[in-house]
Amino acid sequence: MKILMATFWGLQNLGGIWTYIRQLSEWYAEHGIEVDVIGTDMQKETVYILKKGWLFEKKAVLPALHSSLSPHHVPALHADPYLAFLELNRYAYELGMAYLGTESYDLIHAQDPISAYSISRVMKRKVPLVTSYHGSLHLEGYLDELQINPDTRKEDYLLTPLGTYYKTMEQLGIAASDGFIVSSSWIQQLMQQFQAPGAAFSRIPYAVDLVQYDELATKQSSYSAPPNKKVIAFTGRLEYIKGIHVLLEAAAILKKYRGDFVIWIAGEGSMGPLYKEQTQNKGLKGHVKFWGMVDNVPSFLKNVHIYVQPSLQDTQPFSVTEAQLAGIPVIVADTAGMPDMVVEGKTGYVVPPSDAAALARKLDYLLTHPKVRTRVGTAARTWARKYRSLERQAKDTLAVYERYIKKDRMAERGQDEKTDVKIGRDARTEFLSTSPAFSLPHLPIASELLADLMSKLPADYRLPDRKVIKEEK
């Protein structure tokens, strides 16, 4: 069996999704299953296959794409600068995928809707395509907009060019896929709003490599709690969507009536400087410590008493499972897939999203009751070790791969199973054959590269993609 795991985004910028890809690919490699991982290097502007050294330089085509698809030629593409950036880079990604090859695999496991749809556009031979939706593009886009314009309504944002683009990509990713692997009921319900059939889903929660976790946890911790203070921790990207501002606000409320705590924040991100400034402005100096990137999270958690995941949207953070494995009571926001990760009052707690006062009350309760912390933390560890092991996740995911590979081979022999779910994999031909977009020979790139790409791309491949960039009336 030969599997390709693919993402449109930068591999090293994916946070928990990178952990998901890395853990699964390494487990499969150890068990004799060949897995390639393809993604983007955002800094070097390359599409590359991890560990093989095979790459495609986007600069070989991006200047030509910019000139051929300028605001003069395709004004709708440039209705929003970031939309134009994403879409032009998607075309470069598609050309890179074609150049590197996608058709020698038994199955492709896309990690986002953009990758799934892009792959479907460049395949000449049908390969089973399973997609994991790790979050929602349009909801994350809306949260990013709220950070800039707090009064923006979601329904208004979804009518903007960028909001429309994100929803379109999610819909096209669904139509391009044979099946889906999701981690939570939340993301499945969200996708089914885009007409994804329920029978096409396999729900497999995220997991942690218990052997690796235990090895890291045995190492001595260099993170010591201050005397007479309990540690409340968060680990992850310092981005608005993670809700760290809610945790800081809760800390400011908590500080008004008790001082026996310290907040440890481990991670880096674009919001780091702002959060440090907010810490100063809220008078939290001495109550909040930013550790930056932490290499050994299990060791870091050894001196933590409470873990908080206040995210505004988070499917199923690995950091919550890591805290549970450390025997720490967790508090998560009641949003996205996080409520699926705890049993209220038994293995953790759920608080309303963005409600700093409710979070402060729950923290106060746990700080006051050490026996409760121990009981809940112990139950969380037992639950996580039983239900969140990488071996269990990898075997369940492999069973999905095998099912779709079997379906594909039966279809080739004209023996389709009657239970097959048809989602609509042929949408590409349906619209591109009548689209007034240009074919690849019109792209002014090096002749040798052009000839290579033309031999690998479907004959009806066109730019721009009129399924996404609608024609001006």
Q: What is the pLDDT of residue 472?
A: 59
Q: What is the pLDDT of residue 430?
A: 35
Cβ of 63: how many Cβ atoms within 10 Å?
12
Query: What DSSP string runs through 110-171?
Result: ESSHHHHHHHHHH-SS---EEEE--S-HHHHHHHHHHHH-TT--HHHHTTSHHHHHHHHHHH
Measured between alpha carbons, how far is 335 from 314 in angstroms, rounded to an integer? 7
Measured between alpha carbons, how far is 333 from 451 in angstroms, rounded to an integer? 52
**Contacts of residue 128, Cβ cutoff 8 Å, sequence gap at least 6:** 106, 107, 108, 178, 404, 405, 407, 408
In sign, the C-alpha dihedral spanning 248, 319, 363, 255 is negative
Contact between 9 and 112 (Cβ < 8 Å)? yes
For residue 455, give the H/E element and its range: helix 447-456
Q: What is the pLDDT of residue 419?
A: 45
* Whether the predicted model's global pTM rises above the 0.85 cut: yes
For residue 194, the number of C-alpha atoms closer than 13 Å in the C-beta half-sphere is 24
Contact between 303 and 328 (Cβ < 8 Å)? no
Measured between alpha carbons, how far is 217 from 211 in angstroms, rounded to an integer? 10
CB-based burial of residue 393 (10 Å sphere; 0-12 exposed, 13-18 middle, 19+ buried)? buried
pLDDT digit string (tens) for the chain, length 473 residues: 999 999 999 887 667 888 899 999 999 999 999 999 999 998 899 999 998 889 999 999 999 999 999 999 999 999 999 999 999 999 999 999 999 998 899 999 999 999 999 999 999 998 999 999 998 999 999 999 998 999 999 999 999 999 999 999 999 999 999 999 999 999 999 899 888 888 899 999 999 999 999 999 999 888 888 889 999 999 999 999 999 999 999 999 999 999 999 999 999 999 999 999 999 999 998 999 999 999 899 999 999 999 999 999 888 899 999 999 999 999 999 999 999 999 999 999 999 999 999 999 999 999 999 999 999 999 999 999 999 999 999 999 999 999 999 998 888 777 655 444 445 444 333 333 334 578 888 889 999 999 999 999 999 999 999 999 986 55
Q: What is the pLDDT of residue 471?
A: 67
Measured between alpha carbons, how far is 86 from 469 in angstroms, rounded to an integer? 12
Burial call 9-27: b when 16+ CB within 10 Å, e when fewer: bebeebbbbbbbbbbbbeb
Measured between alpha carbons, how far is 11 from 176 in angstroms, rounded to an integer? 22
Closest CA to 464 of 430, 427, 432, 426: 432
Q: What is the pLDDT of residue 416?
A: 59
Q: What is the pLDDT of residue 427?
A: 38
230: left (phi over 0), alpha (psi -120 to 50) or beta: beta
Return the structure tokens found at 104.
């020698």
Contact between 130 and 108 (Cβ < 8 Å)? yes
Closest CA to 340 of 192, 165, 148, 204: 204
Place of tokens 């593409």: 77
Closest CA to 191 of 242, 419, 429, 183: 183
